[in-house]
Amino acid sequence: MGCAASVPDKSSGRSGGLNNLENGGPPDAKNLRVKLVLLGDSGVGKSCIVLRFVRGQFDPTSKVTVGASFLSQTIALQDSTTVKFEIWDTAGQERYAALAPLYYRGAAVAVIVYDITSPESFTKAQYWVKELQKHGSPDIVMALVGNKADLQDSREVPAQDGIDYAEKNGMFFIETSAKTADNINQLFQEIAKRLPRPSVPDS
């Protein structure tokens, strides 16, 4: 963006950023806590995905995110582990782009969302993938999400494009609809399965 002047510099290598590991206690292989960040163009439905996942709701009125919202949700996996997602739902508006490192720094998972009816948002998603490959944690789990899958009639990004791009970049791919709840839980279940498990420390 054009006006990055007074936002925090992303080059600084110090651990900074919004990480809550201090009071997280020792790593526990049965109860994981992961920081997840959602990135993507404004209006692709990041907030709707999160609110569908966390509260089971869908509100069609647009509520442009300011800065970033924080929500958390715990899910149980079949092997009786639980995963607590600490979710940063970032603002897709251009003026906040320079701020993104603050939220993705230290994130174990990045969910990059586009809108299947908007090729521009797919381009923007690719920008975020590149940015994370450069500046994100090296072992970050990345998911590419084509949202608004309920709008098949106005689809402009073929599913195959998403699949191909995700494959090339070692990402998990899924199409979702926050509106119908289609694939929303699956998205987070799949992410949870792919998380690197901490090796159980001797204690």
Partner 1 sequence: MSTSSSSSISSDDEPNSNPNPIDDELSLASVTLNESNGNGSVNVNENENENNRQDGGEITWGRKNSEVEVEAPSSPSSSGYAGERGSSETTNSRIEDDEIQQVNNDDGFVDEVNHSRASSWVPGKRHVDEDDASISWRKRKKHFFILSNSGKPIYSRYGDEHKLAGFSATLQAIISFVENEGDHVKLVRAGNHQVVFLVKGPIYLVCISCTEEPYESLKGQLELIYGQMILILTKSLNRCFEKNPKFDMTPLLGGTDVVFSSLIHSFSWNPATFLHAYTCLPLAYATRQAAGAILQDVAESGVLFALLMCKNKVISLVGAQKASLHPDDMLLLSNFVMSSESFRTSECFSPICLPRYNPMAFLYAYVHYFDDDTYLMLLTTSSDAFYHLKDCRIRIEMVLLKSNVLSEVQRSLLEGGMRVEDLPLDPLPRSSISHRMSQQRLLTDSPERFRESSVGIGGPAGLWNFIYRSIYMDQYVSSEFSSPINSHQQQKRLYRAYQKLYSSMHEKGIGPHRTQFRRDENYVLLCWVTPDFELYAAFDPLADKALAIKTCNRVCQWVKDVENEIFLQGASPFSCATDKTEFAVLMLESYL
Ligand X SMILES: Nc1nc2c(ncn2[C@@H]2O[C@H](COP(=O)(O)OP(=O)(O)OP(=O)(O)O)[C@@H](O)[C@H]2O)c(=O)[nH]1
Interface ranges with ligand X (CB under 6 A):
40, 42-48, 60, 62-65, 91-93, 147-148, 150-151, 177-179
Is there a contact between 171 and 191 (Cβ–Cβ < 8 Å)? no
- Cα dist. 195→85, 126, 136, 143 in Å? 11, 22, 16, 12
Is there a contact between 108 and 35 (Cβ–Cβ < 8 Å)? yes
Among positions 13, 25, 26, 60, the unique one binding partner 1 when judged by CB under 8 A = 60
- Contact flag: residue 18 with partner 1 (CB under 8 A): yes
Q: Around 38, how many Cα atoms within 13 Å sit in the side-chain half-sphere? A: 34
> Minimum distance from CB of 63 to partner 1 (Å)?
4
- Contact flag: residue 137 with partner 1 (CB under 8 A): no
Contact residues for 106 (Cβ-Cβ < 8 A; gap 6+): 15, 17, 18, 19, 21, 35, 137
> Minimum distance from CB of 56 to partner 1 (Å)?
14
How many of the other CB atoms lie within 10 Å of CB of 137? 15
Q: Which residues bind Mg ion (CB under 5 A)?
A: 46-47, 65
How far apart (Å, rounded) are the C-alpha atoms in residues 23 and 143? 27
Which residues in 80-109 contact partner 1 (CB under 8 A)?
Answer: 89, 91, 93-96, 99, 102
Count of residues interacting with partner 1 (CB under 8 A):
37
Among positions 47, 147, 176, 177, the unique one binding partner 1 when judged by CB under 8 A = 47
Lookup: tokens for 135: 């500046």
> Minimum distance from CB of 194 to partner 1 (Å)?
26
Q: Please give the residue ranges that form the binding site for partner 1 (CB under 8 A).
A: 1-3, 5-8, 16-20, 22-23, 42, 47, 51, 60-71, 89, 91, 93-96, 99, 102
